[in-house]
Structure 1
């Protein structure tokens, strides 16, 4: 699985660098089916998809509503909840993984996870638990807090989002030591980095939730009724320090999980690297089309930063 996350991280880094190439800048003001137009249409979502330039009807066929982001978290709650249940049965009941799953994980992983003193097992369990809890929180926010505009996303982005949390669950299963997969060992050893990782996760999650509430309230009145879908300047919490605090908190959440693994799990560090480049690509794309990179006075820059915050959807978290 490490190779897969390396490829994903490298792909998003390449896309980030490709945005700087003049060849991938489409001529403004007219529809285009060039390679540049297809590439940009694949990356854009929300208002950046419809507000930058006319889009050919052939590309609009692949649009799905942006509010479908909540489907990602439905998949995660179900899939990673099943993975969590499997781990609970293994540790509490000494029940081995199904033979077909053990064989499948051996194919995915390539090497056996034999070494374990109980700390690695607890690391996998904690990360799986917090991936599931985070997905539950994000699903609740999408359904009851967030205010989505009428924006769209590409069907490829949508399909990748559906697969993303399945990949996360499989990645975690690949980290389970072989003796635990076979139901032969259910020791759980608590280490200092588990405690530190849990505290980091709680801290980042609380602030991310606050930022999502602040963004949603910008489009509502005091009674909770949605008034408009326009941008305005948010204040409070991490918005005083970071232009996209919900993305920063998301990265901290994944970093906290790397801490739970004891800082030495290469596969999870590649997951963190992928998340970083994925977020950087989104922020870079929106900033290019909102003019954030052009000089301006402080208020203008602040306003553009907030527009980036609105467009940077908190996906893959």
Structure 2
């Protein structure tokens, strides 16, 4: 006699997005835990270049026989590693973010058939108010637009490369985020016949009084960090006061931005918006690993004593 397996039914869009974020975070952590994969697929840009490799490759006859020829698996990994795109393609992430925000904003305003189909398959659960939906969409659009402007105005030409999967993952992340910020309000959108008219002026809630200042403060800090970094000569150790405490304060600010969105998008009776929180998990894992490799690169290039005392991303924590 066998136990009956419960029928969980098909996954809804909300669950698919949440699982995708968590799966991506788990994959990044797994890759970073294995040195052979981390060096090939996780690091990119200047961090992928060893600052100590100044002697050039050793002649093949000087190498042990076990190293004169890569194994088949290493050859395959090296081949996949070479599939790279320009580091400047980071700009595409924010183009996608802005375009997707505009696309879904139009769908919501005009309550299109596509929006109805997505909302009907979003899954049941606590929902958001129309005011929350409007605020979440607006802040995500502002975030994408700000990062796009920064990338255009502050970006420098570089020969650095990144693995093509990084680029694909970034594009998919921002496309998913343009849905994640409002998908938990699907039931509210289905009930509304005129979303714009359902937006009302009310006293700010506690979550708004916490989340909105966090978002604005973190955005300002991140912009200040990006502006400062862009003003430095290439491969210079940052000496801005905020960098005295952290190696990557702009990564901390990025995480706080998504934390604020998770707070602002929390349904009634909940502390966090689950979908946006899973996005925060992905962002924090990804940036924490990059912050770690950045600190390692700084110590190798500028000396351990100049960087060792600095936290990687979060003071007193990491």
Shorter-chain TM-score tier = 0.7 to 0.9
Kept after mapping to 2: 8 A contact 1:204/1:250: yes
Q: Give SS of 1:19's match.
A: helix
- C-alpha distance in structure 1 between counterparts of 2:285 and 2:157, whole Å: 24
Q: Map 1:13-28 onto structure 2 (within 5 A).
A: 13-20=26-33, 24-26=34-36
- 1:269 maps to 277
Q: Is 1:257 equivalent to 2:261 in the alignment?
A: yes
Kept after mapping to 1: 8 A contact 2:28/2:286: no
Kept after mapping to 1: 8 A contact 2:225/2:250: yes
- 2:68 maps to none
- 1:48 maps to 47
Q: CA deviation at 1:18?
A: 4.9
- 2:118 maps to 104
Superimposed CA distance per residue, residues 27-68 of structure 1 (whole angstroms, 9 cap, x where no aligned partner): xxxxxxxxx4xx642222112334478897734641111011
Query: Quick one: which of 153, 160, 167 aligns to 2:176?
Result: 167
- 2:206 maps to 192
Q: 1:40 to 1:110 in 2, by over 3 A?
A: farther
Q: Map 1:53-72 onto structure 2 (within 5 A).
A: 58-59=79-80, 61-72=82-93
Q: CA deviation at 1:182?
A: 4.6
- 1:281 maps to 289
Q: Which stretches of structure 1, 4 residues or more, deviate above 6 A after TM superposition?
A: 52-57
Most deviating of 47-56 and 9-18:
47-56
- C-alpha distance in structure 2 between counterparts of 1:6 and 1:234, whole Å: 39
Superimposed CA distance per residue, residues 200-245 of structure 1 (whole angstroms, 9 cap, x where no aligned partner): 11111111111111111112xxxxxxxxx22233213x22332211
Q: 1:18 to 1:72 in 2, by over 3 A?
A: closer
Q: What runs of 5+ residues in structure 2 fail to find an aligned partner?
A: 1-13, 58-73, 314-318
Kept after mapping to 1: 8 A contact 2:91/2:152: yes
- 2:65 maps to none
Most deviating of 191-200 and 68-77:
191-200
Kept after mapping to 2: 8 A contact 1:49/1:151: no
Q: CA deviation at 1:196?
A: 2.6
Q: Map 1:116-135 onto structure 2 (within 5 A).
A: 120-135=129-144
- 1:248 maps to 252
Q: 1:111 to 1:40 in 2, by over 3 A?
A: farther
- C-alpha distance in structure 1 between counterparts of 2:91 and 2:29, whole Å: 26
Q: CA deviation at 1:249?
A: 0.6
Q: What runs of 5+ residues in structure 1 fail to find an aligned partner?
A: 27-35, 90-94, 220-228, 310-317
Q: Give SS of 1:258's match.
A: helix
- C-alpha distance in structure 1 between counterparts of 2:19 and 2:157, whole Å: 32
Q: Is 1:139 equivalent to 2:160 in the alignment?
A: no
Q: CA deviation at 1:102?
A: 1.7
Q: CA deviation at 1:112?
A: 6.0
- C-alpha distance in structure 1 between counterparts of 2:24 and 2:107, whole Å: 32
- 1:150 maps to 159
Q: CA deviation at 1:258?
A: 1.6
**TM-score normalised to structure 1 length:** 0.72
Q: Is 1:234 equivalent to 2:239 in the alignment?
A: yes
- Length, aligned pairs only: 267
Superimposed CA distance per residue, residues 279-304 of structure 1 (whole angstroms, 9 cap, x where no aligned partner): 12222344456657xx943x2536xx
Q: Give SS of 2:308's match.
A: helix
Q: CA deviation at 1:104?
A: 2.9
